[in-house]
Chain A
C-alpha cells in the first residue's frame, strides 16, 4: 500500500513535470493567432516563431507577385507627378485612371508586402519587448488592411499577373483564413495581453 502511494505520488510528479514543460517553440505556428492552443505570448521564442512563420507565409505570396519593371515604375511615377502638379484641378476621371491602373495596384501590393516583411523583421530584431510590441502593432495594421490586399489582388488577377485563388500557394493562403485573421490575432493574443500586463503592473515598473 505504501508502495502504491509512492507510485501515485511519483505519477503526480511526472504529470506535473510534463504539464509545466514549456511548449517547444517549433510547435507554434501563425495558426495559433487564429486558434490559440499552445501559444504563450509571454514566451519570446513563441512570438519569434510566429513572426518567422508569418514571414514565410507573406513571402510565399510575395513570390507569386511579379516585380515591377523599371519602365512601368517610371511611367507610374510620371503619371502620379502629373496628377500632383494638377492638384485640386485633377478630375476624378484622371485620378481614377491612375488608381484603377494595374501598375498602381501592382505597386500598392508590392509596397504593402514589403512593409509587412519589414515590420516582421523589426519584430525579430527588437531587443526590448516594448519595441517588439510596437513592431507587432505595425504588422497587425498592415495585415488587417484586407481592402488594400483584396483590391490589388483582384486587379492583378484580372490581368492574369498572379495565379487564381485555388492555385495560390497553400501556406500563403490557408483555406478560409486570409491574412487579416492573423492581424486580428496579433492584436488579440499578443498586443492586448501585453498592454493588459502593463496596466496591471505596479506603477514605476512600466518605464
Chain B
C-alpha cells in the first residue's frame, strides 16, 4: 500500500453502484457544509449538471489539502461523466491522479470514464494500478476489472476477479450475485435441478465519490 502523508488517511470513502439499484454500504459521514462536501454529496447521490458548480467553487475558493483537492476533482469528474461530458470528466480525473497518485479510488473512477470512451487498454492499466495500490478500495477494483474482462470476452479472468472481490467483501450481495451470474452456465450443466437464482440487473461499474474534510 502506498504511503500517504500523515493526517490524510482518515478521508472517508463511500461506495456505490453507478445507476444500479444496489447502493453499497455508506460509512459514517462527518458533518460538513463546505462546497467540496456538497460536491461529494452530489457525486454520491444523483447530482448532475447544477452540482458541478459546487465542485468548481470548492476548487476555486476553498482551501483544500492535496487529497481533498484530488477528491473534489475526481468527484467533479464523476458528475461530468454522469451528464455525458466525458472530455471534461477525464480532464478532472487526470488532475486528480496527478495530485494524489497514491489513492486507488481515483484510478477506479478514471477507468470508468475510459471504458465509456472505449479506451479499454488505458482503463485496464488504471484498474491494475488500483489493484497494485491495494488500499481499502481493492474489492471495487477487482469487481470493476471483472466487468471489464467480461466485456472483453475473458470469462475466466472475469471470474477470478469476481471471486477476489467477493472474498475481500463477503458481505456484498452485489459481488456474490455477480459471481453467481458468471458461474451460472457451469452450474446449469452440472446441477440441473439447482434452485434458479433470482433475476439480476446488469452489473454496473462502481464509482467512488470521496468526501473531503476528514483529512
Contact = CB atoms under 8 A, between A and B. Distances in A.
Counting contact residues on chain A (CB < 8 A from B), the size range is 10 to 19
Contact of A100 (B121, B145, B156, B161): B121
Interface string B30-52: 00000000000000000000000
A102 B62 CA distance: 46
Interface residues of chain B: helix, strand, loop or mixed (majority) = helix
A158 B114 CA distance: 14
Contact of B151 (A93, A104, A147, A158): A147
A151 B151 contact: yes
A68 to B, nearest CB: 15
Contact of A151 (B128, B145, B152, B157): B152
Contacts of B5: none
A108 B121 contact: no
B140 interface: no
Contacts of A158: 118
B118 A99 contact: no
Contacts of A154: 118, 120
B154 interface: yes
A175 interface: no
Counting contact residues on chain B (CB < 8 A from A), the size range is 10 to 19
A100 B151 contact: no
A99 B121 contact: no
Contact of A99 (B128, B157, B160): B157
Nearest to B152: A99
Given A100-B120, A100-B121, A151-B120, A95 B145 contact: no
Interface of B: 118, 120-121, 124, 128, 145, 149, 151-154, 156-157, 160-161
Given A150-B118, A155-B120, 18 more contacts: A92-B128, A93-B128, A95-B157, A96-B124, A96-B152, A96-B154, A96-B157, A99-B149, A99-B152, A100-B121, A100-B124, A105-B153, A148-B153, A151-B152, A151-B153, A154-B118, A154-B120, A155-B118
Q: Which 4 pairs of residues, A with B, have the shortest CB-CB distance? A: A154-B118, A99-B152, A99-B154, A95-B157
